[in-house]
Amino acid sequence: PPVSMELAAPVPNPAQNDTHISWAVPAERAGEALDLSVYDLTGRHIATLVSGKAEPGHFSVTWDLRSDGGGHAGSGIYFLRIRIGPITRSRKLVVMP
């Protein structure tokens, strides 16, 4: 298992159709609440990509650039934020038309 919590840069970035997001959870964070979500520049929640209890290891998810409501997120700058227990990491994502 990884030795530290990580959130890798999304690929591709900038994105047009979808983007691939990878993260790592160290063993000492196992069982803590996990949330990986997308926010816009104003801090408004756009989409929840993963939520639940953290398990140790390396993981990934593909975001189709859609909000939780099903609409396309639209062009702009977004932030991916992972929270495991009290620890958070963020990455910037640019969505192009």
Q: Is the pLDDT of residue 66 over 90?
A: yes
Q: Is the pLDDT of residue 97 over 90?
A: no
In three-state secondary structure terms, 65 is coil
- Cα-Cα-Cα-Cα torsion 61, 14, 64, 10, nearest 10 degrees, comes to 10
Peptide bond connecting 56 to the previous residue in cis, omega within 30 degrees of 0: no
pLDDT tens for each residue of 69-94: 999 999 999 999 999 999 999 999 99
Q: Running DSSP on this structure, what letter comes out for residue 26?
A: -
pLDDT tens for each residue of 21-61: 999 999 999 999 999 999 999 999 999 999 999 999 999 99
Position 1 scores a pLDDT of 80
